[in-house]
Amino acid sequence: MDISTILFMIICIGLTEETSYKTKRTESITEASTTLKTFPSERWKTASISREKRAYFESSFSKAFFHHGCEYETRLEPVYYYPGETVRLECFMCNIALVVNGLPKGWGRIKNIDEFMEKGQHFGSKDGPDIELVENPKFLEYPTLPSTRRKLGEPYHQQSNGFLIIYDVISVKFVAFIMNLKANAYSQGVYFCFDKGSVASQRHFYVLIPILPFFQVSRKSINQIKIIC
């Protein structure tokens, strides 16, 4: 199946309102929550917060931009980057009404690019590629909590002013984070911005591809890397 057929089928099938993406976070958001670096789409439904705080957080994540190029057809936008570079992704909606609807925007990610290409005709269904929410470990969302050893190479994310920034935390001192705004090879994958009004017609995707040097890795080393990561 060629790429044009996949794109056509993605347009025709789209996503459904009941679509939910995989998440590693389970705790609820309460009045004690002070900062959110990414919009917690699934946990937001059960957030125990005041109306004023809900409106504040939703307005912080509602900014998006209109992209005319995906209004009637699917658009795959490759983003090539060297590990160590800052990656900023603009939140695009393919309908002008979705830009001004005031709904908070979240980000989804498909880690395996090949899987996205192979299963694109089933995008958003149980037979499609695995989709996860772009989110951070608990200690990054709640700075007062002690940090824990994180998975090797795991990227961190921040939504700011209509953009998704992918970066890495290089050190932590007390509750102040010293941030190095850089992406690494683990950040590769297919990213897309969405809200509950756009999931039925997802048509803009970023394909993040790291530029890496060619080198040979032995089978033994590959198995060891898989255990670590």
Neighbours of 21 (CB within 10 A): 21
Site of tokens 């795959």: 76
Mean pLDDT, the chain, rounded, equals: 75
Q: Give alpha helix (H) positions in the chain.
A: 3-13, 41-44, 51-60, 96-99, 113-118, 138-141, 219-228
pLDDT, tens digit (0-9, with 9 covering 90-100), for 33-42: 666 778 776 6
What's the confidence (pLDDT) of residue 76? 94
For residue 160, is pLDDT > 70?
Answer: yes
pLDDT, tens digit (0-9, with 9 covering 90-100), for 21-33: 666 665 567 676 6
Domains (ranges, CATH) in the chain?
A: 3-228 (2.60.40.10)
pLDDT band, residue 7 (cuts 50/70/90): very low
Rounded to an integer, the average pLDDT of 162-187 is: 61
What's the confidence (pLDDT) of residue 199? 75
Beta strand 92-93 pairing with 65-66: parallel
pLDDT, tens digit (0-9, with 9 covering 90-100), for 77-114: 999 988 878 899 999 999 999 999 988 999 999 999 99
For residue 52, is pLDDT > 80?
Answer: yes
More confident residue, 155 or 81: 81
What's the confidence (pLDDT) of residue 205? 95
What residue ranges in 43-136 does DSSP mark as E strands? Answer: 65-66, 75-81, 87-90, 92-93, 106-110, 132-133
For residue 126, is pLDDT > 90?
Answer: no
What's the confidence (pLDDT) of residue 180? 46
Q: What is the pTM of this model?
A: 0.74
Most confident of 177-181, 187-191, 219-223: 187-191
